[in-house]
Amino acid sequence: MNYWLVIGVSFLYLALLFGLASWAERRSASGKSLVSNPYIYALSMAVYCTAWTYYGSVGRAASGGLEYLAIYIGPTLMAPLWWVVLRKIIRICKVQRITTMADFISSRYGKNITLGSIVTLVCVLGIIPYISIQLKAIASSLSILTGRVGEVEAFPDTSFFIAIGLALFTIVYGTRHVEATERHEGMVTAIAFESVLKLVVFVAAGVFVTYGVFNGFGDLMQQAAQLPNFEELMTFGGESGYAQWFWMVLLSMLAILLLPRQFQVAVVENVNEQHLNRAMWLFPLYLFAINVFVLPIAFGGDLLFGAGTVDADMFVLAIPLLEGQSILALLVYLGGFSAATSMVIVSTIALSVMMSNNLIMPLLVSVPALKNRYNDKLTTILVYSRRLCILLVVLMAYLYYKGVAEYYSLLEVGLVSFAAVAQFAPAIIGGIFWKEGTKNGALAGIVVGSVLWFYTLVVPSMVGVNMLPISILNEGPWGVGWLKPFELFGLQGLDYISHAMFWTMFLNTGLYIGVSLLSRQTSQERNQAEVFVDIFKYSTVLESSIVWKGTAYIPDIRSLLVNFLGEKRAEAALRAYHRKYPEPVNEEGRADAKLVNYAEKLLSGVIGSSSARIMVSSVVKEEEISIEEVLNILKESQQLISINNELRRKSMELRKATEQLRSANDRLKQLDELKDEFLSTVTHELRTPLTSIRALSEILYDNPEMDREDQEHFLHTIVKESERLTRLISQVLDLERFESGKQKLSLAPVQMQEVIQESVEALEQLVQEKGIELVVDVQQNLPEISGDKDRLIQVMVNLISNAIKFCNPAQGKIIVSSYYIDGDIKVNVVDNGRGIEPEFQKQIFDKFYQAENQTIRKPEGSGLGLAICKKIIESHQGRVWVESEPGRGAKFSFVLPVKVKAPAAKV
Amino acid sequence: MKSNKEKLKVLVVDDEPSILMPLEFLMRKSGYQVFIARNGTEAIESVNRELPQVVVLDIMMPDVDGYEVCRQIRSNEGMHGAKVIFLSAKSKEADIKKGYEVGADLYIPKPFSTRFLIEKIKELSAS
């Protein structure tokens, strides 16, 4: 394929990434962030799959069979543990504004500069080979694609320009903000996109090999079974195999947590802790998907090319080329290119921040001469040093690639990097779960572990490229046999990675624990240990959980912040602080411990925690604090938190109780009002007959000479009004008995027919007097019901009297009917009176349905009769209602169940 | 006995026949010319037709209440100088206050003393 075409496509692809990243940044600036979703987060974590995965897995599978899987089994096993480990690290970093792993370790062990610098150095040393194999992968894929295998390019070769291109991209999107805690949304979006691309293309290539070149999995495996080493490849373990599996799995478990690029995407770029939930299964799924076709491609390559003719690392590219699928080959190349670039970009950003914040800044701020000289330009220096570091890292990787990596496989170099970062595991994992871990312990473990790493893994690789004499490997340095790098202290029988891992991890962990137990923590260390291990307790009150004593002035703190954040951002940060802690500023302008901690935290995000510590302590006067004091204050603040929680809970309970009381009170008040209303209505109703009786009696008394006829008329009215009074009083008492539940029904089998008959007889005379036509129509053999006969008669009399009162005065007609329907006995009383307006049809069953504040009087009646009827019917588990059209009479009905479910003694 | 023309015209309004009856007797006995009304509508008609000098007025009535009747009386030019006495079972302070607000000269709660009522009508019609 044409060389310039491929180069053009590569740079076009980089331009596309540029475009994508800046589009994402613009979206984020306008508040429509792309990265605040768990899928982008999980995809960005797939930066784990580099060119090593893309090309190297196939290479490893071709020579080592299933072994390649160990590197993916480790992370898959680790993913469920993220909830315990990674979430804690994320929280700590968010709260303490930690932006790199070096800063994390330095922070945990008292913001120690030495520790941070050593971690940085080991990271740079460990990761540069890893970056270099990405450059190597790009270069080899390019040469395969363009058919220039074996040609030697003069410097500057193509990979040099690609390295510079990547460095520039990283500089543009990685160092836009000074504050490293600010997320690089453009970069993350680009990385997520690259993860999709490399997966899709790799799977496409796998499908092509399996179904295009061969006839599916079955065919491919059947042919592969003829390969001489097939059985060996498909077998786990082997001679030293199980140990190797164990160490590889452990190594990759640690790598997924500790590689600087993983720390960057998983911790620093994390938007929301909850995204971990999704990533915990999405990420292993991604690993699975990208590994499905590794074996088919590896076997396919073996079958097509024969052993040794083509570098197995490049099978995935070489097969489409062999089959003449140039478009697919170009895409495969781009997939590999994307896998490599994503790793390079993220790793260099992480390393550059580490170098600037843990090497350069501490040097600048702790050497007085340098500090005074550059004090005003620290921010500028910071940004430029980061850019320079990115360039430097990429160039070193390029040199390493040219000098060393060219002679090793992708996997061999990659594992060396894994082993380097594994050296931080004891200090980090111990640091977040074990309060007793000390700075000295961490230092001893990391230093010895790293030195051994260098000796057992890097030194042999230097021998391999003739930088050191081969005798070191065979006879040991200076002929000392037990110092042979591959058989240290006489340990034999392990492959070199397992051997190195055994010794480094054994001594590293042992020293970390041993020295920690023997050494004492400073108060600062102790404070950080408490906060790290118990981060979920402290994260809400961080400003007060860092114990600090001394004298500080707000203007000093302010100018320090302005120096690093700029005027605008410093002001905004201080305003935010005062919003959170709106305590009045004291007169001398003294800053309290909270403000000092807040400022230190802000600075940590920019220049790293140890430099921030130095800067802050340079502008304030600090007092020594003993460990006991630290512990006491922390204990108090913890107690404060739990007391606060307790108080909040109590006040919630109180509020709830108050709410209940209020509603109960409201209900009582309402009942009270109802009672008041009832009383005042009753007295009002009593007044009418009383008024009449009094007036008439007084007239009779004052006028003894009045007509006999008038006298009789008056006396008759007095008697009638007295009866009205009596009736009213007994109804009120009736109703009260029903409402208070004192009214007992004397239940017995009752014939409805009898009830109706007796009621009609009682009213017969009145009906005749008024000339009303009364029709009674009762169904024969009505079933008996259980009821209180006298009460039911009371209801019937009331309904029929109402009908008499309201029926057409000229030609009154009343129909009383009763029949059995649906398990009930139904009774209707129909009149031909003026009817009832719809709005009153419900109200008339309420006692005194007209409210007290009304001044329009209801037609007639005491206002209690129907209310009592309703009570009686309901206490028989029945129902009463009225149907009426104004002007066309009214039909009062009630139903009583034939089988009363339970004796209705009470209402 | 004075002639009809000189007799004081009294309108008695109540929806209860058992109260209307003694009131009518009382007024006639005291020598007034009596008109009766059983509800608000009848009362307003009677006012407009007869222009009584004294109106004895119930408040709770089926159609138009006593307060409204009193307002109408007060806005009727021909009723200038007429006296209105409320005679009501509503005896709350707020009801009484409202009675005076709509223009009553007197508010007597039920049950009432017949002598007191007659005395007051005499006083009011003399003033």
Model pLDDT for residues B43-56, shown as the tens digit of each residue: 999 999 999 999 99
Contact A712/B at CB under 8 A: no
Closest chain B residue by Cα to residue A706:
B29
pLDDT for position B49:
92
DSSP-derived letter for residue A259 is S
Split at pLDDT 50, 70, 90, the class of A629 is: low
Helix, strand or coil, per DSSP, at residue A624: coil
Contacts of A765 (CB under 8 A, 6+ apart): none
Chain A: closest CA distance from residue B64 (Å): 7
Out of A687, A721, A858, closest to residue B18 by CB = A721
Residue B31: CB atoms within 10 Å: 11
Q: For A748-769, how does the pLDDT look when each residue is reduced to its tens digit (9 = 90+)?
A: 899 999 999 999 998 888 888 8
Does B29 sit within 8 Å of A855, measured CB to CB? no
Would you state the pLDDT for residue A236? 63
Residue A713: list chain B partners with CB under 8 A.
21
> Is the per-residue pLDDT at A649 higher than 50?
yes
Per-residue confidence band for A136, with pLDDT thresholds at 50, 70 and 90: confident
Q: How far is CA A665 from the centre of its chain?
A: 41
* A831 touches B: beta carbon within 8 Å: no
Q: For residues A743 and A736, give the distance between their C-alpha atoms in angstroms, rounded to a whole number.
A: 9
Task: Give the model's confidence band at A792: pLDDT under 50 very low, under 70 low, under 90 confident, else very high.
Answer: very high
- What is residue A852's predicted lDDT score, i.e. its pLDDT? 42
Per-residue confidence of chain B (127 residues) as pLDDT tens digits? 445 557 899 999 998 889 999 999 999 999 999 999 998 999 999 999 999 999 999 998 877 889 999 999 999 888 888 999 999 988 888 889 999 999 999 999 989 999 999 999 999 988 7
Report pLDDT for A177.
61
The predicted structure's pLDDT at residue A145: 84
More confident residue, A150 or A476: A476
What is the rounded average pLDDT of the residues A529-545?
Answer: 70
Q: CA A324, CA A302: separation in Å to the nearest integer?
A: 18
Mark yes or no for CB contact A688/B110 under 8 Å: yes
pLDDT at A674 over 80: no
Write down the mean pLDDT value for chain A. Answer: 82
pLDDT at A907 over 50: no
- Estimate to the nearest angstrom the gap between the alpha carbon of A203 and the chain centroid: 32
Residue type, A525: E
Which CA distances in Å does A511 have to A108, A427, A508, A516, A644? Answer: 17, 10, 5, 8, 41
Phi, psi (rounded to 5 degrees) for A774: -115, 120
Cβ-Cβ contacts under 8 Å, A855 against chain B: 59-61, 65-67, 90
If pLDDT is split at 50, 70 and 90, which confidence band does A905 have?
Answer: very low
CA dihedral A753, A754, A759, A764 (to 10 degrees): 90
Cβ contacts of A697 on chain B, cutoff 8 Å: none
Interface mutation vs chain A, best among B14, B23, B25, most A CBs within 10 Å: B25
pLDDT digit string, tens, across residues A34-53:
777 888 888 988 888 888 88
Our separate counts of H helices and E strands in chain A read 39, 10
Give pLDDT, residue A861.
Answer: 56
The whole-angstrom separation of Cα A699 and Cα A32 is 92
Q: Which two tokens stand for residue B67?
A: 């307060």
- Interface of chain B toward chain A, CB-CB under 8 angstroms: 15-16, 18-19, 21-23, 25-26, 29, 59-63, 65-67, 89-92, 110-115
Shortest distance between the Cα of A692 and any Cα of chain B, in A, equals: 5
CA–CA dist A164, A172 (Å, integer): 12
CA A36 to chain centroid:
12
Interface touch A857/B62, C-beta < 8 Å:
yes
Q: Contact B18/A717, CB-based, under 8 Å?
A: yes
Q: In this structure, which amino acid lies at residue A623?
A: E
Phi then psi dihedrals of residue A448, to 5 deg = -65, -45
Residues 6+ apart with CB under 8 A from A23: A186, A189
Which positions in chain B touch A695 (Cβ < 8 Å)? 19, 22-23, 26, 111-112, 114
Cβ proximity of A365 and A371 under 8 Å = yes
Asked if residue A383 has pLDDT above 50, the reply is: yes
pLDDT in tens, A198-224: 999 999 998 888 888 888 888 888 887
Contact across the interface for B15 and A857, Cβ inside 8 Å? yes
How far apart (Å, rounded) are the C-alpha atoms in residues A461 and A465? Answer: 7
